[in-house]
Structure 1
Amino acid sequence: MPAPGARPGHADLRVSNQDREQVVEHVKAAYAEGRFDKLEFDDRLERAMTARVHGDLMPIMHELYGSHPVRPMPYPPVTGRPMPGHHHNVRAQTGGDRLGAAAAHLLPLTGLLVIGPLIMLLAAGKTSPYIRKHAVEALNFQLTLLGATVLLAITFVGFVLMPVLWIGGVVLSVVGGVAALGEGDFRYPFTLRPVK
């Protein structure tokens, strides 16, 4: 059944990426205004991103604005940083974003411990919020790991624990890389986060 105010037959028209993105922007704006909680935000975002026809998007807009017509919202300017407090909602725009984000987690395995994520942060972090989010997380983890290694090296018990720590670091880096490729969020456990 078409949404209220829909023209006959309009609900069955296929949506374009631009149609989806405009509804996503409306959903983000409503969430930023505090009009619904994280669970409701995720639900609407998921429905908007997977919409196939206008009939899928109309109920979302109706939930946001009732039966009042809404003028298309201008696209926000592309900035290097996501809106404050919205790091967890950042999505990869391209396959390149996913590869870059995965590289931020996996480069430390090549011996570029802190330098790998730092390179990704400086090279692509300004143009891709998704890469920036993952590079910052990987950088903070590598800094924490390095700090823990220095502190553990002082004691004999710590010296014995170091290999376990580093094996855990390798496993977590791989998991982070896979999560980034799959467009998922990933947060390392036991990590200090001096870099924001």
Structure 2
Amino acid sequence: MSDRDREQVVEHVKAAYAEGRLDKVEFDDRLERAMTARVHGDLMPIMHDLYGSRPAGPVPYPHAPVRNRPVAGYGRAHTGGDRMGAAAAHLLPLTGLLVFGPLIMLLAAGRTSPYIRAHAVEALNFQLTLLGATVALAITFVGAVLLPLLWVGAVVLSVVGGLAALGEGGFRYPLTLRMVK
């Protein structure tokens, strides 16, 4: 990859900022990523949401998978504290706080960090669904047999969610009723 490739992307980012399509933080972030890009695949996510799935310049950018790209709806973790807070939202229920762990993270840091909020809402919805399923299954014999499997699955999914949050990714729990938005 050449400096000319990087400069073309920088020009597109500057144009988008001048048109008001990017705020100052996003502009600075994209400039930094463009100037430190090593391969064409690093430039693709910088251009993708500015011009859709097709780059707007004469230079074709290959469609390569990019690691640590923000997942839709989860935003970007700006600090390590954001990642730790989001992971805590998934892992606090394992300490016995159940619904209260994600709720604490949502109320404490959800207003200042969209990343923590997205993870805390997902973890809260999962814990509420798990609580409802536990109550519903406990009243039947078959449910009482399935209950330990449900809780083992919940522990595994909470750990996976916490690891996804630490890795600056999104995580959606399966079979979850999303009551909190």
Determine the structure 2 residue equivalent to 1:105. 90
Q: Which runs of no fewer than 5 residues in structure 2 stay unpaired?
A: 23-29, 58-70
Correspondence for 1:170: 155
For the residues of structure 1 that align with 2:16 and 2:146, how far apart are their CA atoms? 47
Residue aligning to 1:185: 170
For the pair 1:132 / 2:132, whether they are aligned, the reply is: no
Deviations 1:6-33 (A, max 9, x none): xxxx949xx8xxx9x978978x949xxx
Percent identity between matched residues is: 65
Question: Normalization by structure 1: what TM-score?
Answer: 0.63
In the alignment, the residues of structure 1 paired with residue 102 and residue 158 of structure 2 have an alpha-carbon distance, to the nearest angstrom, of 11
Alpha carbon RMSD of aligned pairs, Å? Answer: 3.9
Letter of the 2:171 counterpart = F
Partner of 2:101: 116
The separation in 2 between residues aligned to 1:170 and 1:101, in whole angstroms, is 16
Residues 95/53 of structure 1: CA separation in 2 closer, same or farther (3 Å cut): closer
Q: What is the identity, as a one-letter code, of the residue corresponding to 1:104?
A: A
Counterparts of 1:99 and 1:123, CA distance in 2: 13
Q: Secondary structure at the match of 1:158?
A: helix
Q: Quote the offset at 1:49 in angstroms.
A: 6.7
Distance 1:169 1:136 in 2: 16
User: Structure 1 residues 49, 175: CA separation in 2 closer, same or farther (over 3 Å shift)?
Assistant: farther
Gaps of 5+ in 1: 4-9, 31-46, 68-85
Match of 2:132 among 141, 147, 158: 147
Partner Cα distance (1:180, 1:24) in 2 = 30
| Structure 1 position 51, deviation (Å) | 1.7
Cα offset, 1:88, TM superposition: 2.3
Deviation at 1:50, TM superposition (A): 3.2
The answer to whether the aligner puts 1:90 opposite 2:75 as a matched pair is yes
Query: Which stretches of structure 1, 4 residues or longer, exceed 6 Å deviation after superposition?
Result: 21-26
Count of aligned pairs between the two proteins:
147
Q: CA deviation at 1:53?
A: 5.5
On the 8 A contact 2:74/2:118 being kept in 1, the answer is: no
Equivalent pair of 1:124/1:132 in contact (CA under 8 Å) = yes
Task: Judge conservation of contact 1:24–1:49 (CA < 8 Å) in 2.
Answer: no
8 Å Cα contact 1:137/1:187 also seen in 2 = yes
